[in-house]
Structure 1
Amino acid sequence: MWNRCEWLNEPGQWTLENDRLCVMTDAHTDFWRETYYGFIRDTGHWFHVNAGAEFTATVKVEGRFSELYDQAGLMIRLDDTTWCKAGLEVSDGQRLIGSVLTHGQSDWAVGSLPGEPDTFWLRATLKDNALRIQYSLDAQRWPLLRLASFPSSSAVEVGPFCCTPERAGLEVTFSCFTVEPALGKPLHDLT
């Protein structure tokens, strides 16, 4: 899968070996549009591939998240005004699981993450104009993080992202990245 990916905002330091993408973030990188802060940022690192109109994408994320707004996860994007990013983000002194959905303007939703781990998995399924984001701490149980309206379009791209709005130097490793046909599981099936 990695050999089909390309960068939006390629970081200064990254390697790809043995199915592991290792990234060190550049300074002051972020994805955000307008809400509350009034600014637009489209400077985060995103390694993406075309996924088509319906798919399930999964990735494993490992990092030492410590500073305000350190973040990494999975991004689903139609264009610069229509996207969703989901993953771990540091806020108020703790690691939180969250997502930002952008339809012209961004929102932000976060929740506590049991144990504040360094390693977690994300799974995004786009089917019938509905985006389902799930996370896992063991790659076995997949609680729902977000269900949202999102356009099913052949132009949708997906891939791992990371950014550090307040600093540089977060090291993140992504592995087990797959994009497959959309899972047909019921909403409350956590497998």
Structure 2
Amino acid sequence: MNDVDTSASSAAADPEARTTIPWSVGSWTTPPVSAVEEETADGVDLLVTAVEGSDAWRHTSYGFVHDTEHALLTPFATGTACEVSFTAAFDAQFDQAGVFLRADDEHWIKAGVEFADGLPQLGAVVTDVRSDWSVGPVPAWAGRVVTVRASRSGDAVTIRARVDDEPWQLVRVAPFTADALVAIGPFCCAPTRSGLTVRFHSWTQSSADSALH
């Protein structure tokens, strides 16, 4: 893939104000089988069908490099935040969706819900040449609307998530070079099967979070 254009973008001054990002403005890291917009009572959803075997990982423990995730990216400037909402309707090992943040092939973060060992798991993979992975089970989130929020400020990215309108949970605070040109957006992968379709409900931008807690 060619690096995504990461020219600076702005968010509303009010941290609670969110600007909707149209599905049509993003660029795919790897094209999915299909990506279809569908009008609903609440707006326009994006239904993304993943390629069997799609994934993102570098080296650690498994020894392989996978860079075939389906991530729809736009510029992500320091001082802004990005939110992606989707339905976590997963039932096959390693089905996953959430937010993907990318500087280049060796520096990226993916965060969201991944189905592992029979349960939806909330977590993140942070990659600085090599990947790491942290997860925690969230069985009560199965089949519900999950929102993942990535906030970029200074030399860090803060990841939070919630289900429906419940309180935010802190997922990760990860280092990320302040002057890196970065892009961000929704992603999904289906490492072990064909036929995974993820329904994304919204993609918004706002000001970065003012505090960690």
Cα deviation for residue 124 of structure 1 reads 0.6
Match of 2:30?
9
The one-letter code matched in structure 1 to 2:137 is S
Once the two structures are superposed, the pairs formed by residues 76-95 of structure 1 within 5 Å of their partners are 76-95=101-120
In the TM superposition, what is the alpha-carbon distance from 1:64 to its structure 2 partner? 2.0
Superposition TM-score, scaled by structure 1 size: 0.93
Letter in structure 2 aligned against 1:99:
A
Report which stretch shifted further, 29-38 or 172-181: 172-181
Corresponding residue for 1:131?
A: 157
CA deviation after TM superposition for structure 1 residue 52, in Å: 1.7
- Identify the residue that residue 188 of structure 2 maps to in structure 1: 162
Paired AA for residue 138 in structure 1: D
Deviations 1:41-85 (Å, cap 9, x if unpaired)?
A: 000101110112331001111142011111000011111100110
- DSSP-derived class of the 1:108 partner: strand
Q: 1:35 aligns with which of 56, 60, 63?
A: 60
Runs of 4+ in 1 over 4 A off after TM superposition: none
Aligned AA for 1:9? T
Letter in 2 for 1:26: V
Q: 1:104 & 1:93 partners in 2: Cα distance?
A: 29
Runs of at least 5 residues in structure 2 that lack an aligned partner in the other structure: 1-20
Aligned residues of 1:76 and 1:158 also touching (Cα < 8 A): yes
CA contact (8 A) 2:123 2:135 kept: yes
Match of 1:107, SS?
strand
Question: Is the partner of 2:188 in helix, strand or coil?
Answer: strand
Query: What is residue 133 of structure 2 aligned with on the other side?
Result: 108
Structure 2 CA distance for aligned equivalents of residues 78 and 49 of structure 1: 11
- Asked whether 1:75 is paired with 2:96, we answer no
2:86–2:146 contact (8 Å) kept in structure 1 = yes
**Which runs of 5 or more residues in structure 1 are unaligned?**
none
CA RMSD, 1 decimal? 1.4
Q: Percent of counterpart pairs with the same letter? A: 35
